[in-house]
């Protein structure tokens, strides 16, 4: 086996595969328990692209000996009619599976095991179409079969090695109520088969120190592997062998995982770095890291101050405000400071700009959903695990509480269409508001932020009360506590979703035809900002050349 042979064998499959993975672009952060304000372990995820935004509860079960479960590809695209679910085989069920929350990239189970995700694709030579396991299928099995982050990594690693990993390079950010782990995985190459006797995946996991946070944004970030440090590193038996066989590494050299398996991250220059820089600059500004200078920023970072859930929500909503990359500034933002930059095919780019693209922010319009989640060891699992879930773009969503112990969720977030407008879907409520705001962003975002703050202030004001009441009920009966949390979660989501539809129609009435219209009939004709008028040549006759 060699690099040339593998490239020839994979070129056709990869042309199709990478075309789809390039649409993926997620940002995920983890925070250790000593780096958070309340001692919780935290993880975030922005699921950027068209992925299944429906959150469904899959109950745990006990299983008979010999019982099997199907393995699927395309789980993450559940709302896309053009990407149907594909069953590739079956594997044995364990004796017991745990209740988990299913979404594009399944994210939480009943034991406070919570997972974020981001894609890095990696080298062409690693792709293995024969592998059964896609990253979201591994997440399903981890959440069904593991109680801790370490257990989840072992479950995913063993299944991927046995049945083959058929996805692009991926990072999973895995937390439980005590630890946070980064898990990087890629395939064994196109020549792998189950009969080869070789492991069907290459992977490594590194623990986040309790007093640190970390961020990853579409590139592998794990660096040198410390082989003897079993407390902080777990890895596949093939991680060295494959690199050596391919000529990417030789004995005596430092083994830096990201340099070996993801030496050229996808996307245009700074596509990944700028988001990583932004997270670090917001949470550890004293480091004064340079935004474009680093080949790889520090992986494990101590924050300047302890981090709260709301700090992470603010980071998720960031579009580089008040930096030299501020997406609300410049002609591309239009007259009303719109930070959204729609996809621009190379066919319409200027001739000398074919290899560049818009600056990429953390919050973006094509996000399917995002979350900020906490695992809290001082509470029973049903109460301690709480995931703050937001449909659509982070900057125009509301983060709604979903406790790990809930037994049902509103239809507005468990069902719904994406290929056509669906008035019954929560996702469309948030997507509608976000798209309408693009018409007059600098004005409407103020209304949106005011509504966001009102809902989230209420949630965080009452959270200690809800936790305390649920904990008291749990002592009487775990089922009573779960019923209480289910009602609270459902009431909270229904309140926000109904309120967001009302906000949408309010914005339609208030901002139309270029005016701002008030309930008493008063109208403001605000026109355009003076600087923008100057920039577009306002008042210059057609016959006069624009300066």
How far the first Cα of the chain sits from its last, in Å, is 61
pLDDT, one tens digit for every residue, the chain (547 residues): 444 444 444 443 444 344 444 445 799 999 999 999 999 999 999 999 999 999 999 999 999 999 999 999 999 999 999 999 999 999 999 999 999 999 999 999 999 999 999 999 999 999 999 999 999 999 999 999 999 999 999 999 999 999 999 999 999 999 999 999 999 999 999 999 999 999 999 999 999 999 999 999 999 999 999 999 999 999 999 999 999 999 999 999 999 999 999 999 988 778 999 999 999 999 999 999 988 777 899 999 999 999 999 999 999 999 999 999 999 999 999 999 999 999 888 889 998 888 888 999 999 999 999 999 999 999 999 999 999 999 999 999 999 999 999 999 999 999 999 999 999 999 999 999 999 999 999 999 999 999 999 999 999 999 999 999 999 999 999 999 999 999 999 999 999 999 999 999 999 999 999 999 999 999 999 999 999 999 999 988 665 665 5
Report the distance separating Cα 408 and Cα 340, nearest Å: 34
CA distances from 432 to 166, 361, 480, 502, 521 (A): 35, 21, 37, 11, 25
Judge whether 507 and 436 are in contact, CB under 8 Å.
Answer: yes
Kindly report the pTM of this predicted structure: 0.94
**Residue extents of the structural domains in the chain:** 3-61+98-343, 379-525
Task: Transcribe 141-202 into DSSP letters.
Answer: HHHHH-SSHHHHHHHHHHHHHHH-B-S-EEEEEEE-SS-EEEEEEE---TT--GGG-S-S-E
Report the distance separating Cα 27 and Cα 280, nearest Å: 13
> Cβ of 277: how many Cβ atoms within 10 Å?
23
Judge whether 100 and 144 are in contact, CB under 8 Å.
Answer: yes
Report the distance separating Cα 181 and Cα 194, nearest Å: 28
Four-way CATH pick for 3-61+98-343: 3.60.60, 3.30.70, 3.40.50, 3.30.1360:
3.60.60
Q: Closest Cα to residue 130, out of 178, 94, 163, 174?
A: 163
Judge whether 264 and 276 are in contact, CB under 8 Å.
Answer: no
Residue 329: partners with Cβ closer than 8 Å, 6 or more residues away: 337
Report the distance separating Cα 6 and Cα 246, nearest Å: 9
User: Which DSSP state fits 352?
Assistant: G
């Amino acid at each position: 086996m060699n690099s040339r042979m593998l490239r020839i064998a994979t070129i056709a499959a990869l042309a199709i595969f990478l075309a789809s993975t390039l649409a993926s672009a997620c940002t995920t952060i983890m925070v250790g328990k000593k780096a958070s304000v309340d001692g919780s372990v935290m993880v975030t995820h922005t699921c950027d692209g068209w992925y299944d935004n429906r959150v469904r509860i899959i109950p745990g079960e006990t299983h008979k000996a010999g019982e099997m479960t199907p393995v699927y590809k395309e789980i993450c695209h559940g709302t896309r009619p053009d990407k149907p679910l594909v069953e590739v085989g079956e594997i044995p069920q364990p004796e017991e599976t745990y209740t988990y929350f299913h979404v594009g990239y399944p994210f939480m189970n009943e034991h406070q095991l919570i997972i974020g995700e981001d894609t890095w694709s990696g080298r062409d030579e690693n792709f293995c179409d024969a592998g059964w396991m896609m990253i979201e299928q591994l997440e399903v099995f981890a959440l069904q079969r593991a109680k801790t982050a370490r257990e989840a990594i072992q479950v995913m690693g063993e299944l991927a090695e046995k049945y083959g990993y058929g996805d692009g390079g991926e990072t999973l950010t895995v937390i439980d109520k005590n630890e946070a782990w980064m898990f990087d995985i890629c395939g064994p190459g196109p020549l792998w088969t189950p009969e080869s006797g070789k492991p069907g995946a290459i992977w490594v996991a590194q623990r986040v120190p309790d007093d640190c946070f970390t961020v990853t944004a579409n590139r592998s970030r794990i660096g040198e592997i410390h082989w003897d440090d079993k407390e902080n590193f777990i890895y596949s038996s093939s991680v060295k062998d494959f690199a050596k066989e391919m000529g990417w590494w030789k004995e005596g050299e430092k083994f830096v995982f990201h340099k070996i398996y993801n030496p050229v991250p996808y996307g245009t220059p700074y596509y990944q770095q700028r988001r990583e820089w932004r997270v670090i600059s917001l949470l550890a500004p004293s480091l004064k890291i340079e935004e474009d200078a680093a080949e790889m920023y520090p992986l494990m970072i101590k924050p300047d101050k302890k981090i709260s859930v709301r700090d992470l929500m603010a980071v998720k909503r960031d579009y580089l405000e008040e930096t030299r990359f501020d997406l609300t500034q410049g002609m591309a933002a239009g007259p009303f400071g719109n930070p959204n930059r729609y996809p621009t095919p190379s066919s319409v780019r200027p001739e000398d700009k074919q290899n560049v693209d818009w600056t990429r922010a953390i919050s973006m319009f094509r996000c399917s959903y995002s979350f900020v989640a906490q695992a809290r060891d001082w509470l029973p699992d049903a109460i301690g695990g709480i995931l703050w879930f937001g449909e659509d773009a982070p900057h125009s969503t509301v983060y709604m509480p979903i406790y790990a112990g809930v037994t049902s969720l509103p239809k507005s977030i468990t069902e719904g269409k994406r290929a056509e407008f669906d008035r019954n879907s929560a996702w469309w409520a948030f997507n509608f508001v976000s798209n309408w705001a693009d018409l007059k962003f600098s004005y409407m975002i103020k209304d949106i932020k005011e509504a966001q703050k009102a809902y989230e202030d209420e949630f965080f004001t009452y959270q200690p009360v809800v936790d305390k009441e649920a904990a008291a009920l749990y002592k009487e009966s775990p089922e009573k506590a779960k019923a209480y949390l289910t009602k609270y979660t459902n009431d909270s989501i229904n309140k926000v979703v109904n309120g967001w539809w009302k906000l949408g129609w309010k914005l339609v009435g208030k901002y139309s035809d270029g005016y701002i219209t008030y309930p008493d009939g008063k109208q403001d004709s605000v026109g355009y900002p003076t600087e923008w008028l100057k920039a577009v040549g306002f008042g210059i006759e057609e016959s006069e050349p624009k300066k």
